[in-house]
Structure 1
Amino acid sequence: MSLYRNSAWFLKGLTQFTRNAYVSASKSFVEKDLEPSMAGKTFMITGANSGIGKATAMAIAKKGGMIHMVCRNKDKAEEARAEIVKETGNKEIYVHILDLSETRKVWEFAENFKKKYKTLNVLINNAGCMMTKREVTADGLEKSFASNSLAIYILTKSLIPLLEKSPDPRVVTVSSGGMLVQKLRTGNLQSERGSYDGTMVYAQNKRQQMVMTEQWAKAHTNIHFSAMHPGWVDTPTVASVMPEFHASMRERLRTPEQGADTVVWLAVSDAATAKPSGTFFQDRTMVPAHLPLAWTHSSSLEDQKFMSVMEDLAKKFQPH
Structure 2
Amino acid sequence: MQPFVRVLSAGLDTALDRTVAPGYTRVGLAVRRHLPTWPADPTLGSMAGKVVAVTGATSGLGLATAEGLAALGAEVRLVVRDPDKGGRVVRQIAGRVPGARLHVDRCDVGDLDDVRRFAGELDAGRLDVLVHNAGAMPPERTESAQGHELTMALHVLGPVLMTELLRDRMAGGRTVLVTSGGMYGQRLRADDPEYLTGDYSPTTAYARSKRAQVELLPVLQDRWDGIDVHATHPGWADTPGVVDSLPTFHKVTGPLLRDAAGGADTTVWVAAAEPAPPGGLLWHDRRARPTHLLPRTRTDAAERDRMWTWVEESLGL
The question of a shared fold, defined as TM-score above 0.5 by the shorter chain, is answered with: yes
User: Counterpart of 2:48 in structure 1: which amino acid?
Assistant: A
Cα shift readout 1:2-40 (whole Å, capped 9, x = no counterpart): xxxxxxxx9833121011111011113333544452111
Counterpart residue number, 1:278? 280
User: Counterpart of 2:113 in structure 1: which amino acid?
Assistant: R
Counterpart residue number, 1:6? none
Q: State the SS of the aligned residue for 1:157.
A: helix
Counterpart residue number, 1:3? none
Find 2:70's aligned residue among 61, 64, 67. Answer: 61
Counterpart residue number, 1:124? 131
Take 2:162 and 2:224, find their aligned partners in 1: how far apart are those partners?
15
Query: Residue 267 and residue 11 in structure 1: after superposition, are their counterparts in 2 closer, same or farther (change >3 A)?
Result: closer
Find 2:267's aligned residue among 263, 271, 279. Answer: 263
- Alpha-carbon contact 1:181-1:294 (below 8 Å) kept: no
Matched, 1:244 2:248: yes
Q: How does 1:86-235 map to 2 (within 5 A)?
A: 86-113=95-122, 116-164=123-171, 168-235=172-239
- Alpha-carbon contact 2:73-2:100 (below 8 Å) kept: no
Q: State the SS of the aligned residue for 2:298.
A: coil
Take 2:218 and 2:99, find their aligned partners in 1: how far apart are those partners?
34
Cα shift readout 1:190-241 (whole Å, capped 9, x = no counterpart): 1111100000110000011112322111233421111011000000000011
Q: State the SS of the aligned residue for 2:30.
A: helix
Take 2:120 and 2:97, find their aligned partners in 1: how far apart are those partners?
30
Take 1:314 and 1:194, find their aligned partners in 2: how far apart are those partners?
25
Find 1:24's aligned residue among 18, 31, 37. Answer: 31
Take 2:18 and 2:251, find their aligned partners in 1: how far apart are those partners?
18
Take 1:232 and 1:19, find their aligned partners in 2: how far apart are those partners?
8
Q: State the SS of the aligned residue for 2:204.
A: helix
Take 2:96 and 2:86, find their aligned partners in 1: how far apart are those partners?
15
Counterpart residue number, 2:314? 313
Query: Residue 233 and residue 138 in structure 1: after superposition, are their counterparts in 2 closer, same or farther (change >3 A)?
Result: same
Q: State the SS of the aligned residue for 1:80.
A: helix
- Deviation at 1:136? 2.0
Take 1:58 and 1:267, find their aligned partners in 2: how far apart are those partners?
13
User: Counterpart of 2:84 in structure 1: which amino acid?
Assistant: D
Give the CA RMSD over aligned residues: 1.9
User: Counterpart of 2:68 in structure 1: which amino acid?
Assistant: A
Cα shift readout 1:72-103 (whole Å, capped 9, x = no counterpart): 12222111111112221234201011122222
User: Counterpart of 1:303 in structure 2: which amino acid?
Assistant: R
Find 1:73's aligned residue among 74, 82, 85. Answer: 82
User: Counterpart of 2:288 in structure 1: which amino acid?
Assistant: M
Deviates more, 1:82-91 or 1:252-261: 82-91
Cα shift readout 1:166-206 (whole Å, capped 9, x = no counterpart): xx400111111111111111121111111000001100000
Q: Which runs of 4+ in 1 moved over 3 A?
A: 30-36
Q: State the SS of the aligned residue for 1:188.
A: coil
User: Counterpart of 2:298 in structure 1: which amino acid?
Assistant: H
- Alpha-carbon contact 2:175-2:227 (below 8 Å) kept: yes
- Alpha-carbon contact 2:61-2:264 (below 8 Å) kept: yes
Count residues with an aligned counterpart: 300
User: Which ranges in structure 1 are unaligned for 5 or more consecutive residues?
Assistant: 1-9
Counterpart residue number, 2:302? 301
User: Counterpart of 2:196 in structure 1: which amino acid?
Assistant: E
Take 1:118 and 1:35, find their aligned partners in 2: how far apart are those partners?
24
Q: State the SS of the aligned residue for 1:187.
A: coil
Query: Residue 11 and residue 265 in structure 1: after superposition, are their counterparts in 2 closer, same or farther (change >3 A)?
Result: closer
- Alpha-carbon contact 2:44-2:71 (below 8 Å) kept: no
Cα shift readout 1:102-147 (whole Å, capped 9, x = no counterpart): 221112212322xx32200000011111111111233222222211
Take 1:190 and 1:34, find their aligned partners in 2: how far apart are those partners?
43
Take 2:181 and 2:229, find their aligned partners in 1: how far apart are those partners?
18
Q: State the SS of the aligned residue for 1:171.
A: strand
Q: State the SS of the aligned residue for 1:120.
A: coil
Take 1:119 and 1:134, find their aligned partners in 2: how far apart are those partners?
37
Take 1:205 and 1:34, find their aligned partners in 2: how far apart are those partners?
34
Counterpart residue number, 2:292? 290
Take 2:86 and 2:127, find their aligned partners in 1: how far apart are those partners?
20
